[in-house]
Structure 1
Amino acid sequence: MTVFHLRAAGVSLVLDTRGDAAYITHWGPDLGDLDPPDGLFTPAVPPSSIDVPLRLSLLPSLAEGWSGRPAIESGHGFRTVETHLHEQTAVIRSASPDATQKVVTELELTGQGVLRVRHRFTNRGHDEFVLPNLDVLLPIPAEASELLDFTGLWSHERSPQRAPLRHGIWSRESRHGRPGHDDAFLMVAGTPGFGFRTGRVWAVHLAWSGDKRIWAERSALGCSVLGAGELTAPGEIRLAPGESYETPWLVAVFSDAGLDGLSDRLHPWIRASSHLRKPRPVVLNTWEAVYFNHDLTVLGQLADAAAEVGVERFVLDDGWFTGRRDDRRALGDWFVDDAVWPQGLHPLISRVHAHGMEFGLWVEPEMISPDSRLATAHPDWILDSGPTWRWQRSLDLTRAYDYLLDRLTALLTEYPIAFLKWDHNRDLLTPGVAHRQTRALYRLLAALKQAFPHVEIESCASGGARIDLGILPLVDRFWTSDTNDPLDRQSIQRWTGVLIPPEYLGGHLGAGTAHVTGRTSALGFRLATALFGSAGIEWNLTAASPAEKAGIAAWIAEHKRLRPLLHSGRVVRADSPDPAHLLHGVVAQDRTHAVYALVTLGTPAAALPPPIRFPGLDPDRSYTVRPIGVPPRTMQDAPPPWLAAGGIMLPGRVLTELGLPAPLLTPEQALLLELS
């Protein structure tokens, strides 16, 4: 046994395998060359404790003196029997004292400094074994004493919440059968007061789309951990002799440059394995434009209007299949409604293609309506027995798998569909089935991807209730939230983007009065908010004025021009002393080009706002700063001279450290600035 020291991109992972168990003795800043002598990482033995030093193994339990939440509920500890290091991956094999239970732990440190950890448990006994929860735990230092995670509601996802890490456990559990609108999403522990640009932070995310738990614990014994794992019901995981269970990957990231430092590791890592092969097309989705009013003439005119402003993908939302005139029936009957579409979808698709646009279609395969032909034919395929949710129930994917694959294959074969908006509009309220349901979903998506590699899939779960790194390899886009209200979207996109790169995050231009909130917003604010990310429209453009259409066309042209930057650059966010002000942007990897948005969410705290300081620039280059897009509304007797002049050139060091005087934007406005 030995000490493994993995290093990448300013991060060190030190794994001590000397002795009976393997211990992570350091995960954080790079330690440089290291040849630790025996005993270097061994702590003192305090009074009234076990009589040997307490060290947290990869599978901590009561058997080794750890009285916190264990990695696995077991009456014994696990002993390391074999270790192996291949490039940047360490493999640790452990066994129970009687060798009937074996665990293989993989720890990989990627070139971007992202740590991935998972366990594989194998039943080596002669009888069936009921596996309790099996989790991954990582130690964090005492300085990481403040927590950030997230909660939320439908149309208000990724709402941040912060608290000190005190003695005990702060645990977040999801029992939705999906991550949920209140998904903890990313649990961050850091130095007190850490922000987007400052502080040391350690963060974990569980790459899993079903039930899960994620937590932080500080023990009075002196240890602190971040942990996560799939949340299974009692008896849900039953292993016959020789069978194995593999945990989801725990994705862990350290940064000494605040939350933006997490993105600086996560986004390049995600992009390194991205299967996106072309620029993200500008989308028009029909939902808030027509809802269930599926009429060829109406939708044809909408397609004409979409093409006129430069849309590249036209997506037909809910209401196209047999009997679906409202949200109370027909889910599961995935046949084109010949009463509404006597010639099928071909006439609409031909019109869309004639304009050079791709065609996309909404589906919700994991759900079934009690009022449907499928429910009548296969009542045993219905999972939920409690209250309906949006007048629907969950469909057992393990039983309906072949039917769903056949129906979706038939649709994708008959029609030239380039995109599926894959929705999931209710929680799974049946205990003990979330594991197999999630695995079946992954298998179904993978089968469709293999059969139709040209078809892109969007993960939508009544908005943003299923955004995670488990499903990401199987989809091409996330629907970030069901709200298109730009005021709410500013926060939702800001926090979702800590983990997910912007090219995956759908953000749409909605109507002047938001359908979800009823709030009315200026066109310029809506355009500036939807510019960043995978841009689209969810608005009945046939009702837009000529001036509005001209503004939208100019916005789409601007987005297409900036798209190579927006979808490949570094995402940066400034910390502001005034919560009414936000500044975020994207900076090219070579720092020659950048776009920023200065946003006012509400009434500023002072008559003169703080200067605009631009993070992420090269201090030794000079930049031209110029406004782009729709000029925001201001309340000022005179603008700052640099803005009145149409721009300015200054060194990056000045723009970052000193900044530029800010204009006096009224609430719910955004100023877009391009730097080159």
Structure 2
Amino acid sequence: MSYIIQLVQGYPAHIYWGKRLNRQGNLSDILVRVERCSFSPNPVPEDKTISLDTLPQEYPQYGTSDFRHPAYQLQLEDGTRITELLYQTHRIIEGKPELEGLPAVYAESGQEAQTLELELVDAHSGVTVILSYTVFEAFNAVARSVRFVNTGKQPVSLLRALSASVDFPDDQYESLYLSGAWAKERHIQRRALRPGSTVIESRRGSSSHQQNPFMALLRPDTNEERGEVYGFSLVYSGNFVAEAEVDQFATTRVSIGINPFDFKWLLSPGESFQTPEAVMVYSDEGLGGMSRTYHKLYRTRLCRGFHRDKDRPILVNNWEATYFDFNADKIEDIATEAAQLGIELFVLDDGWFGKRDSDNSSLGDWYEDSRKLPNGLNDLAQRVNNLGLQFGLWVEPEMVSPDSDLYRSHPDWCLHVPGRRRTTARDQLILDYSRAEVREYIFESLSQVFHSVPVTYVKWDMNRNMTEIGSAFYGPERQMEVAHRYILGLYELMGKLVDAFPHILFESCSGGGGRFDPGMLFYMPQTWTSDDTDSVERLKIQYGTSMVYPISSMGAHVSAVPNHQVGRMTSLATRGDVAMSGNFGYELDLTQLTPEEKELVKQQVSSYKEVRQLIQNGELYRLKSPYEGTGNETAWMFVSEDQTEAVVYYFRVLAEPNEPLRRLKLSGLNPEVEYHVDKLGASFNGDRLTHIGLPLKPVQEDFVSECYRIKAVKN
């Protein structure tokens, strides 16, 4: 791809972003400048062709003749909100600098990436703004962020500080974004742009179940394999906004960053503010091309640490098997079955600490419940280890129960506003992670557990959104900083724990997928995709999630039937095929399975171990969408990077009478290579599998799935 910026009278103008221009030549004539109507003012009186209302800009402001939504807004000490950033200097850095206090994609060497820093200055206030652009050798992506530095003599307040803004020269696009609710996260929405704004956002204190910090623009004829796509993904876990505005001249402005709603940040002289990073991806190979770029970039240059490239263990979690009602013997019984079936990790979920018999107490009291575990948590972990399984643990460290020793000792440690009701959700309040002493308490409490118990996996949950956002630590002038300071504190704590316990595989969770965002992946390389474990619902959830997020980040489990969320009855085979399309595990009582079911589970575990590397690190090709037509069919496949191996999953929800004969066309294979298809017992050239496809046999049954293993035939 190519990305072109031109200076116009000191304003950084956005000229082009798209398919790579191999022979660039003279670029000064790309921007067409014509005199517009009188309702578009001219900041340069001697040049009527320049109007900020029509100039495509890299980081626009409001109040100096641009009437579209701005990328930033400052309030000066005199109360005015007029600033004007002009080019001062620039520098090019080999590699990619870290962002202070924030997660971001990274380069492992200076040869992988280059970073351009554009330094802009508002002469009146003395504020300096540094626009950062990183381009990568191996990816059609540019990472953008902004740093504000108060180099003036008076304090200023940031009212709006977005991470990226791009002006497109026309409006012939559709927007695509991911929305939903608890248990139905990241459903794909696609609609044409119209005059005015398309806005997605979160005001919940987290990236949320309802919207995801991602938006794409795509041409109307774009599909999985063809067409232009521009993706915008924010590496942030708090309140965000993404907006696409079509103006009077049929141009489109897209921006993304921290939500300016209920946000204000005081910058004293000498202080700086760093925005989160926006990762922008261009694809001329449709949505599939965009997704595969995000997948590999996020899997290899956002996720990090010991577990980044390791096989993720097959686990069993006891939550839907026992909920809060368990003892050490019951847990050992489930773990014993797991070991016999080839499962690698047992995860003890909620209820092991304090006096936790339901969700109305003990959050914050991170010590074992001796009533349930009279010989201690370490004894239980050793019993699990003796069976040949690793031991994992559930925690919810951002929360405090009003009925807890911690709350009784420190009632001011939660987010609250004096004199106002403290609204509970799930009978819990949110700890004030903007405060260092709160973070230190949690670090010490969890460290004590992790040092004393052989924990190799931690599921980190967060089960409510923010209300009464205030902090007893900060004065009135900084209360609108608290939501963002919370996220910064969360990142600091997670980074500290990950560094202290590099052997632990952390999985993030927020009532399932309520905080499935790139910011969390920087610290925790996988996320519990949704609390909804129904295999039919998971088709839409996992398909939508795959628009941005790599398969290695998606936790997916087989649960019991009737399903605990929707009551649906689906076969164990179909539940397994859906769950194997992610980080595979089980969440049911293995002791209750029939001998036949146990044998099938053993086969599923064995099969997943054979294809685990391919699924977690291969390239994903989406073949049939549950969002198109009747949504009755879904299919996807995973292809090895060298195109020698693939695994294909096909799902059909409802049977139909007298159904037509169908074929499933594949993607990502080498057209010149011959492949053996296990289930058909025959070999075909890659071009035949791509253009003619696999024959699908009619089955008179609901909720069916098929899995095909495909391998290149060795000559």
**Does the pair score TM above 0.5?**
yes
What does residue 481 of structure 1 align with? 530
Q: Distance in 1 between matches of 2:64 and 2:125?
A: 18
Is the alpha carbon distance of 1:491 and 1:233 closer, same or farther for their aligned partners in structure 2, counting shifts above 3 Å? closer
2:404 pairs with 1:375: no
Structure 2 counterpart of 1:622, from 653, 668, 674 = 674
What does residue 35 of structure 2 align with? 45
Q: Distance in 2 between matches of 1:605 and 1:502?
A: 35
SS, match of residue 134 in structure 1? strand
What does residue 653 of structure 1 align with? 687
What does residue 68 of structure 1 align with? 68
- The code of the aligned residue for 2:563 comes to A
8 Å contact from structure 1 (residues 140, 202) kept in 2? no
What does residue 559 of structure 1 align with? 608
Q: Distance in 1 between matches of 2:264 and 2:66?
A: 26
8 Å contact from structure 2 (residues 624, 636) kept in 1? no
Deviation at residue 80 of structure 1 after TM alignment: 0.6
8 Å contact from structure 1 (residues 123, 241) kept in 2? yes
What does residue 20 of structure 2 align with? 30
Is the alpha carbon distance of 1:544 and 1:121 closer, same or farther for their aligned partners in structure 2, counting shifts above 3 Å? same
- The code of the aligned residue for 1:58 comes to E
8 Å contact from structure 2 (residues 324, 351) kept in 1? yes
- The code of the aligned residue for 2:458 comes to L
What does residue 407 of structure 1 align with? 445
Q: Distance in 1 between matches of 2:502 and 2:360?
A: 33
Q: Distance in 2 between matches of 1:129 and 1:497?
A: 41
Deviation at residue 221 of structure 1 after TM alignment: 2.6
Which deviates the most, 85-94 or 478-487? 85-94
Is the alpha carbon distance of 1:235 and 1:304 closer, same or farther for their aligned partners in structure 2, counting shifts above 3 Å? closer
What does residue 395 of structure 1 align with? 431
Deviation at residue 592 of structure 1 after TM alignment: 0.8
8 Å contact from structure 1 (residues 143, 190) kept in 2? no
SS, match of residue 238 in structure 2? coil
Is the alpha carbon distance of 1:606 and 1:265 closer, same or farther for their aligned partners in structure 2, counting shifts above 3 Å? farther
- The code of the aligned residue for 1:390 comes to R
Q: Distance in 2 between matches of 1:228 and 1:286?
A: 39
The number of residue pairs the alignment matches comes to 648
Q: Distance in 1 between matches of 2:692 and 2:664?
A: 8
Deviation at residue 101 of structure 1 after TM alignment: 1.0
Deviation at residue 387 of structure 1 after TM alignment: 2.6
SS, match of residue 470 in structure 1? helix
Deviation at residue 189 of structure 1 after TM alignment: 1.0
What does residue 232 of structure 2 align with? 204
Q: Distance in 2 between matches of 1:57 and 1:543?
A: 62
- The code of the aligned residue for 2:124 comes to D
CA displacement 1:187-211 (0-9 Å, x = unmatched):
1111114222232111101110011
2:623 pairs with 1:596: no
8 Å contact from structure 1 (residues 145, 166) kept in 2? no
Is the alpha carbon distance of 1:320 and 1:62 closer, same or farther for their aligned partners in structure 2, counting shifts above 3 Å? closer
Is the alpha carbon distance of 1:418 and 1:37 closer, same or farther for their aligned partners in structure 2, counting shifts above 3 Å? closer
Deviation at residue 339 of structure 1 after TM alignment: 2.1
- The code of the aligned residue for 2:576 comes to L
Which deviates the most, 598-607 or 194-203? 598-607
What does residue 428 of structure 1 align with? 466
- The code of the aligned residue for 1:293 comes to D
Question: Following superposition of structure 1 onto structure 2, how do residues 631-670 of structure 1 map, counting pairs within 5 Å?
Answer: 646-665=680-699, 666-670=701-705
What does residue 638 of structure 1 align with? none
- The code of the aligned residue for 1:59 comes to Y
SS, match of residue 156 in structure 1? coil
CA displacement 1:88-147 (0-9 Å, x = unmatched):
321100011225211000011122111110100111222322111111211235265111
CA displacement 1:150-202 (0-9 Å, x = unmatched):
21111100011121101111111201111111123421111114222232111
The alignment yields a C-alpha RMSD, in angstroms, of: 1.7
2:709 pairs with 1:674: yes
Is the alpha carbon distance of 1:657 and 1:104 closer, same or farther for their aligned partners in structure 2, counting shifts above 3 Å? same
Identical-residue share of aligned pairs (%): 31
2:123 pairs with 1:97: yes
SS, match of residue 215 in structure 1? strand
SS, match of residue 22 in structure 1? strand
Structure 2 counterpart of 1:129, from 153, 156, 166 = 156
Deviation at residue 624 of structure 1 after TM alignment: 1.2
8 Å contact from structure 1 (residues 144, 189) kept in 2? no
Q: Distance in 1 between matches of 2:88 and 2:125?
A: 10
Question: Following superposition of structure 1 onto structure 2, how do residues 244-255 of structure 1 map, counting pairs within 5 Å?
Answer: 244-255=272-283
Q: Distance in 1 between matches of 2:525 and 2:657?
A: 40
Q: Distance in 2 between matches of 1:575 and 1:484?
A: 21
Q: Distance in 1 between matches of 2:688 and 2:168?
A: 36
Deviation at residue 231 of structure 1 after TM alignment: 1.6
What does residue 569 of structure 1 align with? 618
Q: Distance in 2 between matches of 1:64 and 1:648?
A: 69
Is the alpha carbon distance of 1:194 and 1:602 closer, same or farther for their aligned partners in structure 2, counting shifts above 3 Å? farther
8 Å contact from structure 2 (residues 317, 587) kept in 1? yes
Q: Runs of 5+ in structure 2 lacking a partner? A: 42-47, 74-80, 95-113, 470-479
- The code of the aligned residue for 2:493 comes to L
TM-score, normalised on structure 2? 0.88
CA displacement 1:428-464 (0-9 Å, x = unmatched):
1134321011111100001111111111111100000
TM-score, normalised on structure 1? 0.93
Question: Following superposition of structure 1 onto structure 2, how do residues 209-248 of structure 1 map, counting pairs within 5 Å?
Answer: 209-234=237-262, 236-248=264-276
8 Å contact from structure 2 (residues 674, 683) kept in 1? yes
8 Å contact from structure 2 (residues 171, 251) kept in 1? no
What does residue 100 of structure 2 align with? none
Q: Distance in 1 between matches of 2:27 and 2:440?
A: 58
8 Å contact from structure 2 (residues 57, 167) kept in 1? no
- The code of the aligned residue for 1:247 comes to T
Deviation at residue 268 of structure 1 after TM alignment: 1.7
Deviation at residue 232 of structure 1 after TM alignment: 4.3
Is the alpha carbon distance of 1:615 and 1:235 closer, same or farther for their aligned partners in structure 2, counting shifts above 3 Å? closer
Q: Distance in 2 between matches of 1:109 and 1:507?
A: 33
Deviation at residue 18 of structure 1 after TM alignment: 5.4
What does residue 345 of structure 2 align with? 313
8 Å contact from structure 1 (residues 143, 191) kept in 2? no
CA displacement 1:202-231 (0-9 Å, x = unmatched):
110111001111111111133212211112
Q: Distance in 2 between matches of 1:564 and 1:109?
A: 28
What does residue 4 of structure 1 align with? none
SS, match of residue 546 in structure 2? helix
8 Å contact from structure 1 (residues 263, 499) kept in 2? yes
Which deviates the most, 270-279 or 593-602? 270-279
What does residue 106 of structure 2 align with? none
Q: Distance in 1 between matches of 2:634 and 2:510?
A: 28
Question: Following superposition of structure 1 onto structure 2, how do residues 107-506 of structure 1 map, counting pairs within 5 Å?
Answer: 107-110=133-136, 111-135=138-162, 136-142=164-170, 144-234=172-262, 236-273=264-301, 274-275=303-304, 276-384=308-416, 385-397=421-433, 398=435, 399-431=437-469, 432=480, 433-506=482-555
Deviation at residue 271 of structure 1 after TM alignment: 2.9
- The code of the aligned residue for 1:404 comes to I
What does residue 643 of structure 1 align with? none
